[in-house]
Amino acid sequence: MSEHSRRKVSDRLGIGMTGLATALILAILLVILGTMVAGGHRVISWEFLSQPPREGMTRGGIFPAIFGMVFSVLIMLIAVLPIGVATAVYLHEYAKPGHWLTKLVRGAVNNLAGVPSIVFGLFGLGFFIQFIGRGLDASLGKEMLFGQPCILWAALTLALLNLPMVIVATEEALRAVPRDERAGALALGATRWQTIRHVVLPQALPGILTGTVLVIARGAGEVAPIMFTGAAYFLPSLPKAPTDQFMTLGYHIFVMTTQSPDIEATVPIAMGATLVLLCLTIALNLVAVVIRSRTRNALRKGR
């Protein structure tokens, strides 16, 4: 076989394999979506989205789970965004790259990213609830206000889980800002912080937003970290404060498929709920794409 035809064959093989892998992924996605649509589309209605579950979750809707999910994700964002972005800015803009402390923080972030989510759940239970929560209760003279599972601790646990993702996405975005522009700003007598605030961060924003959306999707879907830290099996009323327990979609699906007294009646509802979660995730991603291309265009035009 000549060198030329050998290269041709390997080229074909490469295209074939990567094409096959792509097709497989698409097929899997379609099968998942198809199953959920087939099994769950009949239950989806305005009532389904706006009503609480009834009769041991064999009827009714999923509104409290949606509400709780949004509530917890919002608190998670409030916690994880400032800390994550600030850490990334420090690491990338201020810290000396070779310094041992920088390396230590980087290593810690990478290791944090590899920890299984159930471990975060246990950590949340031990640290947030039993240590901080109980401590707060004791010092405030309260009985079981902070020292029990609730939205706050669940959201903080989710924040911790997602912290590496925010840091990595932000650093990526910062790296994409040209050095020349930083130098330009500093040479005009801008301070380091002014340079970051007015030149670097605006350009990094699309990248940070993308990271944020991924984090939202993950925060909305994760079950393990919130199982012991705040999510409830069933609640008769909506949570009113961050110190209340909450229902959330992912955990609700888990509960419905494993603990229902009447599986037959629950399966379509669980499928419907899963369909809602999937659609939400996909919609979130689309929103991200739109925001990103908008900000990018705006930046190019220079607002």
Partner 1 sequence: MAGSTADRIDITGFNLYYHATRALEDITLAIPEREVTAIIGPSGCGKSTLLRAINRMNDLIDGVRTDGGLRLDGEDIYQRGIDVVELRRKVGMVFQRPNPFPKSIYENVAFGVRMGGNGLLKTRLDEVVERSLKEAAIWDEVRDRLQRSAMELSGGQQQRVCIARALAVEPEVILMDEPASALDPLATAKIEELIFRLKEKYTIVIVTHNMQQAARVSDRTAFLMLGRLIEYDKTSKIFTSPSNKLTEEYITGRFG
Contact assessment for residue 250 and residue 66, using Cβ atoms and an 8 Å cutoff? no
The reply on whether position 299 binds partner 1 by CB under 8 A is: yes
* CB of 16 or CB of 184, closer to partner 1: 184
Residue 103 tokens read as: 């390396």
The reply on whether position 188 binds partner 1 by CB under 8 A is: yes
Binding mask 82-111 for partner 1 (x = CB under 8 A): --------------xxx-------------
The reply on whether position 302 binds partner 1 by CB under 8 A is: yes
* Rounded CA separation 159/38 (Å): 34
In terms of Cα–Cα distance, which of 247, 219, 227 is closest to 60? 247
The reply on whether position 181 binds partner 1 by CB under 8 A is: yes
Concatenating the DSSP letter of every residue in 47-62 gives HHHHS-EETTTTEE--
Helices and strands per DSSP (H, E), number in the chain: 13, 2
Among 1, 46, 141, 180, binds partner 1 (CB under 8 A): 180
Minimum gap (Å) between residue 298 Cβ and partner 1? 9
Binding mask 195-214 for partner 1 (x = CB under 8 A): ---xx---x-----------
CA 63 to chain centroid = 20
The reply on whether position 47 binds partner 1 by CB under 8 A is: no
Concatenating the DSSP letter of every residue in 67-85 gives HHHHHHHHHHHHHHHHHHH
* Rounded CA separation 281/16 (Å): 30
Minimum gap (Å) between residue 133 Cβ and partner 1? 44
* CB of 69 or CB of 173, closer to partner 1: 173
140-179 positions binding partner 1, by CB under 8 A: 178
Give the residues lining the site for partner 1 (CB under 8 A).
96-98, 178, 180-181, 183-191, 194, 198-199, 203, 299-303
